[in-house]
Amino acid sequence: MTLDDRKLEVLRAIVEDYVATQEPVGSKALVERHHLGVSPATVRNDMAVLEEEGYIRQPHTSAGRVPTDRGYRLFVDKLSRIKPLTPAERRAIERFLLGAVDLDDVVHRTVRLLAQLTRQVAIVQYPSLSRSAVRHLELVSISTTRLLLVMITDTGRVEQRLVELPKPTAASQVTSLRQAINEKLAGRRLSEAPGLIHALVDEAVDALRPAMTSLATVLLETVVERAEERIALAGTANLTRGGVLDFQGMLRPILEALEEEVILLKLFSEVDATTLRIRIGDENEFEDLRATSVVSTGYGPGTTAVGGLGVLGPTRMDYPGTIATVRAVARYVGDLLAQN
């Protein structure tokens, strides 16, 4: 069964009205608010078909219709027109991101901005280490048997780890170590780092081998295990908008999910900087997020994504507006990173 144009138009009208009013929408209200050029009875027939196809449903017999997840999906894919940002929004984005002084600041500002503009929960992943390249590695002596390893990436992330050395190590040796690891790793992508790190140990001169082994262990941990881990979150208060209506008893599991970094990171697991991904209700992998929709995309200098960002809200959200905002913010952040 293929839906004719008017039925699609009816679906669009239902989605738009429901998103705006948050109340089931009936046939009469529909023809009044949208100039569909047909009578309520006709619309009712169309609605019956749409319901049969699973795009809308009735909360109770003889109430208005509400879009289903499937209905939203069709709306997003076929029916929604791109809603350009208002100049005010563009200005807000620019102003907000302009004053950022470092990566932490950029991420913080971005996540707050997104939450504010979309009035939903915003999530920003820090530039992933595995998609970054090493800019510089620094070793700072804390004592003769302790070094602080500081790794700086081209995306501005700075990771530090304490290294315990097996035996006292002189300053000159630290200098050699520093030189060796920088020669090997500086400018290289972190995805290729593990092999290089192993090589470092193999190539080390005997005197430095024990120290280098400790160092390599810590480096590997940093590069492999902690590669993706950081996430910033804002706007959780927005989950309580719409009162009990949106999430009812579901608020708790959602807040819990939002504190699980593992879950959030999976939202960005396959991002690239040009595609925008939308998960509507059921389409979410995680049980606890089935009452929500997630709009996410990658960001980065150019077209390669170094991280992801997005928003999470009720399935009943303003998709065109949200999509436009997420896209725009991602682009601005990407540009900002490119300037570094």
Partner DNA sequence: ACTGGCACTCGATCTCGCGGAGTGCCAGCC
Partner DNA sequence: GGCTGGCACTCCGCGAGATCGAGTGCCAGT
Least distance CB 242 / a second copy (angstroms) = 11
Position among 10, 13, 16, 27 found at the interface with DNA (CB under 7 A) = 27
- Which of 18-26, 74-82, 135-143, 302-310 is the region at the interface with DNA (rule: CB under 7 A)? 18-26
# chain residues binding DNA, by CB under 7 A = 25
Site membership for a second copy, residue 94 (CB under 8 A) = no
Choose among a second copy, DNA, none what residue 83 binds, the Cβ cut-off being 5 to 8 Å by kind. none
Annotate 65-87 with DSSP letters as a single string. BEE-HHHHHHIIIIIPPP-PPPH
Question: Taking CB under 8 A as the rule, which mask of x and - marks residues 116-135 in contact with a second copy?
Answer: -------------------x
Question: What are the backbone dihedrals phi and psi of residue 128, each rounded to the nearest 5 degrees, phi first?
Answer: -70, 135
Residues 58-77, interacting with DNA (CB under 7 A): 58, 60-65
Distance CA 239, CA 322 (A): 15
Handedness of CA 106, 109, 111, 117 (dihedral sign): negative
Position among 237, 245, 262, 338 found at the interface with a second copy (CB under 8 A) = 237
Choose among DNA, a second copy, none what residue 64 binds, the Cβ cut-off being 5 to 8 Å by kind. DNA
Within 8 A by CB and 6+ apart from 131, the residues are: 189, 190, 191, 300, 304, 305, 306, 307
Residue spans of alpha helices (H) in the chain: 5-21, 27-33, 40-52, 69-74, 87-98, 103-118, 171-185, 193-203, 209-220, 243-247, 251-259, 261-267, 319-339
Question: Taking the mean position of all CA atoms in its chain, how far away is CA 97?
Answer: 17
Residues that bind a second copy (CB under 8 A): 101-102, 135-136, 138, 140, 142, 148, 150, 152, 156, 158, 160-162, 221, 234-237, 239-241, 251-253, 255-256, 259, 340
Residues that bind DNA (CB under 7 A): 6, 24-29, 37-42, 44-45, 47-48, 51, 58, 60-65
